[in-house]
């Protein structure tokens, strides 16, 4: 569980950096991640939303 919390914190920091980026592509990706996370968190809970977000990122990088 602690590892998931750390990874979620890293994800939050990544989204924050993306939202502040001058690169429109990075900002767009950060917005997509944030919107998906909020939607999942509303529908489920924060832990599930974080887990799903990490899975999405793994699929897009792999």
Longest distance between any two alpha carbons in the chain, whole Å: 34
Who's near 19: CB < 8 A, 6+ residues apart? 27, 30, 31, 34
Q: At what angle do helices 24-43 and 46-61 cross, to 10 degrees?
A: 140
Q: How far is Cα 14 from Cα 56, in angstroms, rounded to an integer?
A: 14
Q: What confidence tier does 17 reach under pLDDT thresholds 50, 70, 90?
A: very high
Whether pLDDT at 25 is above 80? yes
Whether pLDDT at 39 is above 80? yes
Residue 36: Cβ within 10 Å count: 14
- Provide mean pLDDT across the span 22-44: 91
Domain count, the chain: 1
Q: What residue has token string 């990122």?
A: 57
- Domain range enclosing 23: 2-61
Residue 46 is predicted with a pLDDT of 87
Residue 62 is predicted with a pLDDT of 58
């Amino acid at each position: 569980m602690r590892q998931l919390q750390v990874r979620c914190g890293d994800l939050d920091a990544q989204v924050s950096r993306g939202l502040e980026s001058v690169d429109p592509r990075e900002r767009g990706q950060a917005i997509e991640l944030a919107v998906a996370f909020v939607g999942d968190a509303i529908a489920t809970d924060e832990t599930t939303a974080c887990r799903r977000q990490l899975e999405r990122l793994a699929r897009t990088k792999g």
